[in-house]
Amino acid sequence: MRHVAFIAPRFLENTLNYVRAFASHDEVTLSLISEDPETSIPEPLRPRIAGHYRVSQCLDAAQLTAAARAITRGVGPIDRLAGALEQLQLPMAEVRDAVGIEGMSARVARNFRDKDRMKDVLRAHGVPVARSALASSVRDLRKFVEQVGLPIIVKPQAGLGARNTHRITTTAELIELVNSGAGPSPEAPAQVEEFVRAREHTCETVTIRGQVVWRSGTRYFPTPLEVLETPWIKYCVLLPREPDLPEFAAFSAVNEAALAALFGDEAPTAAGTALTHMEWFLREDGSSLVNEVGARPPGAQIMPLMGLAHDTNFFVDWTGLIALDRFTPRVRRWAAGAAFFRGQGQGDRVVSVTGVDEVLAEVGDCLVELRAPKPGMARSPSYEGEGWATVRHPTTEGAKEALLTLIQRIQVHYG
């Protein structure tokens, strides 16, 4: 038996997908660390939970360390410490170092979480990345602009998706950023990099002790940054039916080199057993650049999309990988996609949603799940909007058409 401690900040729907998946493995003894009480665990799952420890803040490494030690005393030594959120990866690694749990160390976790360090490591190993620097002052920011010109991207050193990310295209926008107080400072340095004009893709890679055993990839329409900059744009993710499209095949060597660089000498250990989420750019000339890499499951509905495209439950596959170093490569049989619904208007709540009935009739059997926004919902600050839908189709073009129908027909308005 492998004893897994899973960090579940709140027992929300997506988090419970992971809890259920870990609990589905008979070879796993499962303990939970959460900000929610034990009574919040759904009744059917409780018999499979060997231990529960409540903390007030799941991002606090000291509290997580105390929890891990308490679980070790009460249930037994922890073989794997796991968590799905990007923000958990560094504190979780610090706990492994403190308690002696096999897996990614804090030294390697910083390669993934510190975006400036990530680019330095990749650049040092010959992996193509955009020109970038860590700015600790407005002076640093202006110096970088003098070197590379505009436009540039300014984002947090330990960012999450495209949140708090700014594209600066003019001197006036640069002055506005500085005057707003959002410019870099010694207390809050920023990652600044050249703006890359390219199509954005993802590469999801399964490695077992550093060896690549499986890859998948998606395409963003449009990029998350463009969605954040234009509030009314709806956002789609497409997983093509063809697993060996030329652009994905050509990127595989870059993907492997990037992961080898980031995992470093820990790759042959349990640290190198992972599902990574890599965002990358494909330029018009066919060259590619690595943007960011997360050592955790992807968001934006990519986990269920990979399950749909490969006729599997990818939450179960990921938990088997992490807990047991076990993964069965899947054959892709479908194209899949997700559409995220965002509205128009200046208000802070959804006031109307139209087109849902028409979509149900037009998209038909390829619609897998629809979570349409509801009037009265608060406006979401996320590029994923207030609702979403997933589709599956035997062809890539069929999935594209279904996504286009969804974003054209379903209209959301704020007020």
Instruction: Give residue-wise pLDDT tens across range 367-393.
Output: 999 999 999 999 988 778 899 999 999
- DSSP lists the bridge partners of residue 280 as 201, 290
Task: Give the pLDDT of residue 34.
Answer: 98
Distance between CA atoms of 277 and 293, rounded to whole angstroms?
Answer: 6
Lowest-pLDDT choice from 151-155, 201-205, 289-293, 388-392: 151-155
Query: 2-102 in CATH: which number?
Result: 3.40.50.20
The CATH class for the domain spanning 198-333 reads alpha beta
Closest CA to 152 of 210, 112, 197: 197
pTM: 0.90
Handedness of CA 42, 48, 54, 59 (dihedral sign): negative
Distance between CA atoms of 72 and 324, rounded to whole angstroms?
Answer: 19
The alpha helices in 264-364, defined as continuous H runs, are 302-310, 314-324, 356-363
Same fold, 198-333 and 334-415: yes
**Residue 47, helix vs strand vs coil:** helix
87, 77 contact by CB (below 8 A): no
Task: Give the pLDDT of residue 227.
Answer: 55
The CATH class for the domain spanning 334-415 reads alpha beta
The alpha helices in 4-88, defined as continuous H runs, are 13-23, 61-74
Is pLDDT above 80 for 133? yes
Distance between CA atoms of 359 and 138, rounded to whole angstroms?
Answer: 49
The 10s digit of each residue's pLDDT in 62-87 is: 999 999 999 999 999 999 999 999 99
Task: Give the pLDDT of residue 52.
Answer: 98
19, 6 contact by CB (below 8 A): yes
The 10s digit of each residue's pLDDT in 18-46 is: 999 999 999 999 999 999 999 999 999 99
Domain boundaries, the chain: 2-102, 131-194, 198-333, 334-415
The 10s digit of each residue's pLDDT in 223-280 is: 655 655 555 577 899 999 999 899 999 999 999 999 999 999 999 999 999 999 999 9
Task: Give the pLDDT of residue 381.
Answer: 82
Task: Give the pLDDT of residue 158.
Answer: 65
The 10s digit of each residue's pLDDT in 278-331 is: 999 999 899 999 999 999 999 999 999 999 999 999 999 999 999 999 999 989
What pLDDT band is residue 17 in, cutting at 50, 70 and 90?
very high
Is pLDDT above 90 for 162? no
Q: Examine residue 222 and say whether the peptide bond preceding it is cis (omega within 30 degrees of 0).
A: yes
Who's near 73: CB < 8 A, 6+ residues apart? none
- DSSP lists the bridge partners of residue 15 as none
Is pLDDT above 70 for 2? yes
Residue 279 burial by CB count (10 A; 0-12/13-18/19+): exposed, middle or buried?
buried
213, 227 contact by CB (below 8 A): no
Task: Give the pLDDT of residue 148.
Answer: 85
**Residue 233, helix vs strand vs coil:** coil
The 10s digit of each residue's pLDDT in 317-361 is: 999 999 999 999 989 999 999 999 988 888 999 999 999 999 999
Is pLDDT above 70 for 161? no
Regarding the domain with residue range 131-194, which homologous superfamily does it belong to in the CATH classification? ATP-grasp fold, A domain (3.30.1490.20)
